[in-house]
């Protein structure tokens, strides 16, 4: 009988163990890319003059940024010398200035100020596959790095928040702007937009 009781306890606890295995295996499906792979991909999809900015140690993030269930990639790049290449490769500019009147508008040529840019590469496969890229967007801002914000994480308002709190359709990134401000960059179902969290200078 003690043996049967031990088995009973095991099967009561075991489902939690199985959930843990499922949770870890889900993350195991998102392999980390090397910086060489990211550079090669960026040069192929955006042009040889685009520079992957890896000085911050946060040069890219993998996620589902447009909420379509497929794997996407966001990369921290420098594009000032690659304007013509970006156009030839079908990259769309998006104004995501959280405090600007054209926030979310596509096709707006940025004011070039030797700043960084965040490029979003939308995929069309469940797992990240460089050959599955369908759309490319670039956000041009003066920022020092970005952080990945998973879909569903509560968005906290700050002294730089204006308007209603957004409900991103997918994962987002948080930009640390050189002005000292922070801005959430998210997909609203049609385009990327910015939402101010902390105000800057």
Q: Tell me the per-residue pLDDT of 92-151, one tens digit each, with 9 for 90 and over.
A: 999 999 999 999 999 988 888 889 999 999 999 999 999 999 999 999 999 988 999 999
Is 127 among the domain residues? yes
Is 162 among the domain residues? yes
Is 124 among the domain residues? yes
Contact (CB, 8 A) for 82 and 50: yes
Is 17 among the domain residues? no
Is 2 among the domain residues? no
Per-residue pLDDT tens digits for 37-48: 999 999 999 999
Is 28 among the domain residues? no
Distances (CA, A) of 151 to 75, 93, 165, 187: 18, 23, 14, 11
Is 18 among the domain residues? no
Structural domain that includes position 177: 33-198
Distances (CA, A) of 20 to 14, 17, 107, 163: 10, 5, 44, 39
Domain tally for the chain? 1
Is 157 among the domain residues? yes
């Amino acid at each position: 009988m003690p043996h049967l009781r031990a088995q009973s306890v095991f099967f009561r606890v075991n489902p939690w163990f199985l959930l843990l295995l499922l949770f870890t295996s889900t993350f195991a499906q998102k392999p980390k890319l090397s910086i060489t792979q990211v550079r090669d991909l960026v040069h192929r999809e955006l042009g040889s003059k685009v520079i992957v900015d890896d000085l911050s140690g946060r040069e890219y993030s993998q996620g589902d940024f447009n909420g379509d269930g497929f794997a996407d990639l966001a990369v921290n790049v420098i594009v000032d010398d690659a304007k013509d290449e970006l156009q030839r490769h079908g990259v769309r500019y998006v104004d995501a200035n959280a405090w600007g009147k054209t926030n979310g508008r596509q096709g707006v040529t940025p004011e070039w100020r030797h700043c960084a840019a965040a490029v979003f590469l939308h995929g069309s496969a469940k797992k990240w596959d460089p050959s599955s890229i369908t759309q490319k967007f670039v956000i041009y801002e003066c920022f020092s790095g970005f952080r990945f914000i998973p879909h569903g994480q509560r968005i906290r308002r700050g002294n730089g928040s204006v308007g209603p709190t957004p409900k991103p359709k997918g994962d987002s990134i948080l930009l640390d702007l050189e002005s000292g401000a922070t801005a959430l960059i998210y997909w609203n179902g049609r385009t990327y937009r910015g939402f101010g969290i902390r105000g800057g200078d």
